[in-house]
Amino acid sequence: MRLSKISHNLAIFSDHDLIDLGTRLIYHENVLVFYVLSSIVRIGLSSSYRGGKTMSEKNHRVSRRQFLNYTLTGVGGFMAAGMLMPMVRFAIDPVLKAGTDQDFVYVCEESELTTEPERFDFKIDQVDAWYESEEPRSAWIFKAENGDIVALSPVCKHLGCTVNWASDEANPNRFFCPCHYGLYEKNGDNVPNTPPLAPLDVYQHRVEDGKVYLGSAKPKGEA
């Protein structure tokens, strides 16, 4: 009996009443929903009129009660989406964040450096989405003839093996990769006609109070 009464009350709403009801429900919730719902209303009304004449309720493709139901369902869906979006963004935000440069970390004392490349090992704090870890790193560091500090990555640009300084008897003043016999000059440039196709990456560096700090390793020319 009560359901019949509700159905009767819904049936007496005019199309104008339905539009007004739908827009009022969402106006104070979200401006975006207002525009989307307006489009739904226009589509719904277009199915109720043909040739400029109103069709009988019996021949409506979508009755007013159905239209009201669709409208309210749509509003509820948009409201739910509005509440869920902040939670979804919070969950995936670490993945979407653009990578940032590594913080500078202490590696050695400047007084330890000579003109001969020496390997220094250190650790960095690495963040991969939600996972944080301490990762080991290495660098070949030396002073150039003009006194500038040079810090090279030991990762071969061919297939990622580790290069060593003067480890090949035939090339005593070069970096050598034992995996595929890659060669690099002291300044990190790849030797022509050897597997590596690019120079060793160069660490960003700075010196503070006689201490050497390294940042990210970047392709030569970008550090």
pLDDT exceeds cutoff 50 at 85: yes
pTM over 0.85: no
- Asked whether the beta carbons of 11 and 64 are under 8 A apart, the reply is yes
Q: 63 and 48 in contact (C-beta within 8 Å)?
A: no
With 80 as the cut, is the pLDDT of residue 193 above it? yes
Q: Which long-range contacts (CB under 8 A, 24 or more apart) does 118-126 make?
A: 118/142, 118/165, 119/154, 119/164, 119/165, 122/214
On whether the CB atoms of residues 108 and 120 are closer than 8 A, the answer is: yes
The rounded percent of the chain whose pLDDT value lies above 90 is 45
With cut-offs at 50, 70 and 90, classify the pLDDT of residue 83.
confident
The mean pLDDT value of the chain amounts to 75
Q: Which residue has the higher pLDDT, 52 or 89?
A: 89
Q: Which domains does the chain have, with CATH numbers?
A: 2-96 (no CATH), 105-218 (2.102.10.10)
Percentage of the chain exceeding pLDDT 70: 62
Residue 155 φ/ψ, nearest 5 degrees:
-85, 120
Longest dimension (CA), the chain: 100
| End-to-end Cα separation, the chain, in angstroms | 79
pLDDT digits (tens, 9 = 90+) for 133-164: 788 999 999 999 999 999 999 999 999 999 99
